[in-house]
Structure 1
Amino acid sequence: MPQHYSAKTLLAVASLALAAGLTGCGDSKSRTLADADAQPDAAFERYKTRFIDSLWYYNPEWASGAGYHRYDSLLVVPTEGRRRTEAKMLKRRGTELADFKVEELSVNNQTDWRLLQNYVQSSRFYADTLRDWQWNPASYNVGASVGEILNGRYWPLDRRLRAISHKISHAPDFYAAAEANINTPTKEHTELAIRQNEGGLEVLGKALQDSIARSGLTAREKEELATRLATTRLSIGNYIRFLKTQVLPAGKFRSFRLGEDLFSRKFAYDIQSTYSAGQVYEKALAHKQELLQDMKRRTARLWPKYFPAQPMPADSLAAVQQMISKLSEQHATQAGFVEAVKAQIPTLVQFVNDKKLLTQDPTKPLVVRETPLYMRGSGAGASISAPGPYDKAANTYYNVEPLTGQPAAQAESYLREYNQYTLQILNIHEAIPGHYTQLVYANRSPSLVKSIFGNGAMIEGWAVYAERMMLESGYGGNSDEFWVMWDKWNMRVTLNAILDHEVHVKNAPEAAVVAMLRRDGFQEEAEARNKWRRATLSQVQLSSYFTGYTEIYDLRQELKKQQGQSFDLKSFNEQFLSYGSAPVKYIREMMLKKE
Structure 2
Amino acid sequence: MILSGGRLVLIIGIFFLFISCDRQKVKESGEVTTPEQQFTEIKANLLEKIWRLNPEWATSVGYHKYDNVLVIPTPERLKGEVASYRSMLQDLHQINRTALPLDNQTDYQMLESFFNGRIWYATVLKPGEWNPAEYNIGGGVAEILNGRYDSLTNRLRSISLKIEQVVPYYEAAKNNIKEPTLEHTQLAILQNKGALTVLEEVADSVKIARLKPFEKDFLRSRIATAKIEVNSYIDFLQQEKLPLLRKKQGRSFRIGKELFAQKFKYDIQSGYTAEQVYQKALQHKEYLHRQMLAITQKLWPIYFPDKPLPSGLPGVKQLLGKLAEQHVRRDSFLIAIKAQIPQLVKFVNTKKLLTQDPSKPLVVRPTPEYMRGIAGASISAPGPYDKNADTYYNVTPLTHYSAAEAESYLREYNKYQLQILNIHEAIPGHYTQLIYANKSPSLIKAVLGNGAMVEGWAVYAERMMLEQGYGNNAPEMWLTWYKWNLRVTLNAILDYSVHVLGMTEKEVLALLVNEGFQEEAEAREKWKRATLSQVQLSSYFTGYTEIYDLREEIRKKQKDKFNLKQFHEKFLSYGSAPVRYIRALMLQK
Global fold match (TM > 0.5): yes
- Measure how far apart 1:565 and its partner are: 0.7
Contact 1:75 1:167 in 2 (8 A): yes
Q: Distance in 1 between matches of 2:95 and 2:207?
A: 54
Q: In the TM superposition, what are the counterparts of 1:62-461 in structure 2 within 5 Å?
A: 62-205=57-200, 207-251=201-245, 252-313=249-310, 315-378=311-374, 380-461=375-456
Q: Distance in 2 between matches of 1:250 and 1:408?
A: 33
Secondary structure of the corresponding residue to residue 309 of structure 1: coil
Output one character per residue of 1:532-572: Cα deviation in whole Å (capped at 9) or x when no partner.
00000000000000000000000000001101111110010
- What is the aligned partner in structure 2 of residue 26 from structure 1? none
Contact 1:34 1:44 in 2 (8 A): no
- What is the aligned partner in structure 2 of residue 533 from structure 1? 528
Output one character per residue of 1:478-525: Cα deviation in whole Å (capped at 9) or x when no partner.
111000000000000000000000000001000001100001100000
- What is the aligned partner in structure 2 of residue 27 from structure 1? none
Q: In the TM superposition, what are the counterparts of 1:481-500 in structure 2 within 5 Å?
A: 481-500=476-495
Q: Which amino acid aligns with 2:284?
A: H
Secondary structure of the corresponding residue to residue 415 of structure 2: coil
Q: Which amino acid aligns with 1:296?
A: L
Q: Distance in 2 between matches of 1:400 and 1:570?
A: 30
Q: Which amino acid aligns with 1:242?
A: F
Output one character per residue of 1:373-413: Cα deviation in whole Å (capped at 9) or x when no partner.
111112x0000000000000000000001112421100000
Q: Which amino acid aligns with 1:290?
A: Y
- Measure how far apart 1:34 and its partner are: 8.5
Q: Does 1:585 align with 2:580?
A: yes
Could you list the runs of 5+ residues in structure 1 that have no partner in the other structure? Answer: 1-32
Contact 1:34 1:99 in 2 (8 A): no
Contact 1:443 1:580 in 2 (8 A): yes
Secondary structure of the corresponding residue to residue 369 of structure 1: strand
Give the fraction of aligned pairs with identical amino acids, expressed as a percent: 58
Q: Distance in 2 between matches of 1:510 and 1:403?
A: 23
Q: Which amino acid aligns with 2:139?
A: A
- Measure how far apart 1:38 and its partner are: 1.8
Contact 1:368 1:398 in 2 (8 A): yes
Contact 1:66 1:387 in 2 (8 A): yes
Q: Distance in 2 between matches of 1:155 and 1:76?
A: 22
Output one character per residue of 1:31-76: Cα deviation in whole Å (capped at 9) or x when no partner.
xx99454211111011101110111111111100110011101111
TM-score using structure 1 length: 0.93
Q: Distance in 2 between matches of 1:77 and 1:405?
A: 34
Output one character per residue of 1:178-203: Cα deviation in whole Å (capped at 9) or x when no partner.
00100001110000000000111111
Q: Distance in 2 between matches of 1:52 and 1:323?
A: 52
Q: Distance in 1 between matches of 2:230 and 2:341?
A: 38
- Measure how far apart 1:250 and its partner are: 2.3
Output one character per residue of 1:418-456: Cα deviation in whole Å (capped at 9) or x when no partner.
000000000000000000000000000000000010000
Q: Does 1:571 align with 2:566?
A: yes
Q: Which amino acid aligns with 2:251?
A: R
Structure number with greater Rg is 2
Q: Distance in 2 between matches of 1:285 and 1:237?
A: 45
Q: Distance in 2 between matches of 1:87 and 1:277?
A: 26
Q: Distance in 2 between matches of 1:218 and 1:38?
A: 51
Q: Distance in 1 between matches of 2:204 and 2:508?
A: 46
Label 1:157 to 1:554 Cα distance change in 2 as closer, same or farther (>3 A).
Answer: same
Contact 1:518 1:524 in 2 (8 A): yes
Instruction: Tell me which stretches of 4 or more aligned residues in structure 1 moved more than 3 Å.
Output: 33-37
Secondary structure of the corresponding residue to residue 529 of structure 1: helix
Secondary structure of the corresponding residue to residue 433 of structure 1: coil
Q: Which amino acid aligns with 2:336?
A: A
Q: Which amino acid aligns with 2:373?
A: G
Q: Distance in 1 between matches of 2:564 and 2:208?
A: 51
Q: Which amino acid aligns with 1:247?
A: K
Q: Which amino acid aligns with 1:569?
A: L
Q: Which amino acid aligns with 2:404?
A: A
Contact 1:130 1:262 in 2 (8 A): yes
Q: Which amino acid aligns with 1:236?
A: V
Q: Which amino acid aligns with 1:328?
A: A
Q: Which amino acid aligns with 1:60?
A: P
Could you list the runs of 5+ residues in structure 2 that have no partner in the other structure? Answer: 1-22, 27-31
- What is the aligned partner in structure 2 of residue 517 from structure 1? 512
TM-score using structure 2 length: 0.94
Contact 2:24 2:34 in 1 (8 A): no
